[in-house]
Amino acid sequence: MSLRNIAIIAHVDHGKTTLIDVLLKQSGSFRENERVEERAMDSNDIERERGITILAKVTSLMWKDTRINIVDTPGHADFGGEVERILSMVDGVVILVDAAEGPMPQTKFVLGKALAQGLRPIVAINKIDKSDERHLEVLDEVFDLFVALDATSEQLDFPVLYGSAKQGWMAEDPSGPKETLAPLLDKVVEHVPEPEVEEGAFRMLVTTIERNPFLGRILTGRIASGTVKAGDPIHTLNRGGKEVEKGRVSKVLAFRGLERAPIEVGEAGDIVAIAGLETSTVADTICATAVTTPITAKPIDPPTLSVTFRINDGPLAGREGDKVQSRVIRDRLMREAEGNVAIRVTPGEDNDSFDVAGRGELQLAVLIENMRREGFELTIGRPKVLFKEENGTRMEPVEEVIIDVDDEFTGTVVQKLTERKGELTDMRPSGVGRTRIKLLVPTRALIGYQPELLSDTRGTAIFNRLFHSFVPYKGDLPGRRTGVLISNGTGQSVAYALWNLEDRGAMLIDAGVDIYEGMIIGEHNRENDLEVNALKGKQLTNIRTTSKDEAVRLTTPKKLTLEQSLGYIAEDEYVEVTPKSIRLRKIWLDPNDRKRMSRAAKSA
């Protein structure tokens, strides 16, 4: 049977997962009466809630006499490690570009990786039904991007299709015919080469890993040479060629629509999943026992941000979660690092903490959110940027930031980012009344910036960022401009006390919430921290008058999400995360300890 392996790559929200939904429906992968969820490839809860793809996933469909394996990839820069891995499994890519937005940072990132591997892309300009579509300008921008990324003459000769994945059509002409996605599938069969097959015994590079409660570890990759069937003896080699483990294949699974089906024999060129091994992981080579040389795995871009994960040692620890020991947290983090090559885990300064390095706040927040739902209780430190030394110079990561914003807010946005050591590189109109601003900004300056941007622009700005390079350290940045209100006692917050504290600043908690000494309950109007009493009730007397019994009307508190909390906290603060709550607290709960530590920090 003829075979094609392709990946669909694009910026976040440009329609990859929706396109795959329609491809599966139109190719007859579902039964007539089968109920199919929208965005069927986004299988886990967080992907569904946030509307983004986090994990790369494989599906497969039959088109005429050809089986097409399709990989759906994440579009968010924080999950770029997933995209880098899976590009080694495919022989072609479909680049999806929004007909209004044009190429965005993640389009540039994934396209650069695809071109470097010698893949010849097919460009699909999607969402052409939008009222503000500008397909001719977008096509020019895509061509300029190919040139800027040093594409070869063969890669520059790319086929272009126009259409709308949501409406279920693609065509070589923007005006149609607006019927089906058949032109795209025909173009894949015609333009993408068949997988190259090497001679020799069975070899396969592992690109993704997951756990199954019945089969144990499932390792997915593309077979480079030979064949494999259940019962075959195999062994695993790491990058250096050292044997990791020996075993037997318990099952060979292939992708059929949204399901995985057991197959008799996995043949060279096909993407399959193998069960039966215990410790093998991503970038290892699974092969026949006679093979001694591994397949070379592409190096992955290094992490740029690190966060400290600790046990929850606050007064309310253990009330909401059942996984609170450092041993359990360590095992969970090590399991995550095995399957996710873009995350690195190292032991912290004490036995109860771990430094977890990743690509960005969103990637780390998704890991924390997953652990929280599994019943873990953690305290998380402020995200820190990973510096590196080069010839005695301290280098820091800089990100390319692209912001689409209404014209009236451009001044505020540029001012805020230049204060944060950003450099403006480009500014141009991007539609009626909108401007696209490009800047190079240090990664550490962007921690916690997104909520501020949304409040500055009344929620209208579209913010995109992508790692650019390492540059010499740019100096100190302005910190958070306000102090915090800290509880001076333990108990339940009282509405009357919070009402009296509203003059001091915005509250972060409601009335009737469990609080403890050292917990942050609000934002101070001034620069210093202030200890306050949120437990003090009203002194009741036996005199009743309208003026005495003034109704307590509290202002709605400022509730921070997990990502906002990570960006909000200062160096001497933690975010306490439990299955039901997100609290902010000082590292040192006792006020005397805090004073002692601040004196020690000043003298140092």
**Any idea what DSSP says for residue 595?**
H
CA distance 165 to 39: 12
**Residue type, position 107, single letter:** T
Residue range 454-469: mean pLDDT, rounded = 81
Among 31-35, 61-65, 505-509, the minimum mean pLDDT is found in 31-35
Question: Has residue 74 got a pLDDT over 80?
Answer: no
Model confidence pLDDT, tens digit, residues 512-535: 899 999 999 999 988 888 999 999
* DSSP reduced 3-state for 601: helix
Classify residue 557 by burial, with Cβ atoms within 10 Å: 0-12, 13-18, 19+.
Answer: middle
Question: Has residue 24 got a pLDDT over 50?
Answer: yes
CA distance 353 to 42: 32
pLDDT at 73: 79
Model confidence pLDDT, tens digit, residues 188-218: 999 998 888 888 889 998 888 887 778 888 8
Token readout for 478 is 């302005």
Token readout for 144 is 């300029």
CA distance 290 to 288: 6
Question: Has residue 399 got a pLDDT over 50?
Answer: yes
**Torsion angle of alpha carbons 443, 448, 449, 450, nearest 10°?**
110
> Model confidence at 167, in pLDDT bands (50, 70, 90)?
confident
CA distance 168 to 186: 15
Let me know: does 249 contact 206? Beta carbons within 8 Å: no
Residue range 560-567: mean pLDDT, rounded = 85
Among 3-7, 411-415, 467-471, the minimum mean pLDDT is found in 467-471
Token readout for 512 is 């009737």
CA distance 272 to 208: 11
pLDDT at 440: 92
Q: What sign has the CA pseudo-torsion 341, 347, 348, 351?
A: positive
Q: Measuring CA to CA, which residue among 74, 15, 141, 109 is closest to residue 465? A: 109
Residue range 467-484: mean pLDDT, rounded = 81
CA distance 232 to 274: 11
* DSSP reduced 3-state for 243: strand
Question: Could you give the percent of the chain with pLDDT greater than 90?
Answer: 18
- In angstroms, the first-to-last Cα distance of the chain is 70
Residue range 248-268: mean pLDDT, rounded = 86
Q: Which residue has the tokens 């003829």?
A: 2
* DSSP reduced 3-state for 519: strand
Provide the mean pLDDT of the chain.
84
| 579 prior amide bond cis, ω within 30 | no
Strands (E) across 512-555 are located at 514-515, 519-523, 530-532
Residue range 453-480: mean pLDDT, rounded = 81
Residue range 337-348: mean pLDDT, rounded = 82
pLDDT at 213: 78
**Residue type, position 404, single letter:** D
> Model confidence at 33, in pLDDT bands (50, 70, 90)?
very low
Let me know: does 222 contact 5? Beta carbons within 8 Å: yes
**Any idea what DSSP says for residue 443?**
G
3-state helix, strand, coil in the chain (%, to 5): 25, 35, 40
Model confidence pLDDT, tens digit, residues 108-165: 878 888 888 888 899 999 988 888 888 899 999 999 989 988 888 898 999 999 998 8
The per-residue b/e assignment along 198-211, b for 16 or more CB within 10 angstroms, e otherwise, is: eeeebbbbbbbbee
CA distance 272 to 206: 10
Model confidence pLDDT, tens digit, residues 365-385: 889 998 999 999 999 998 888
pLDDT at 456: 84
CA distance 400 to 422: 10
Token readout for 410 is 């451009």
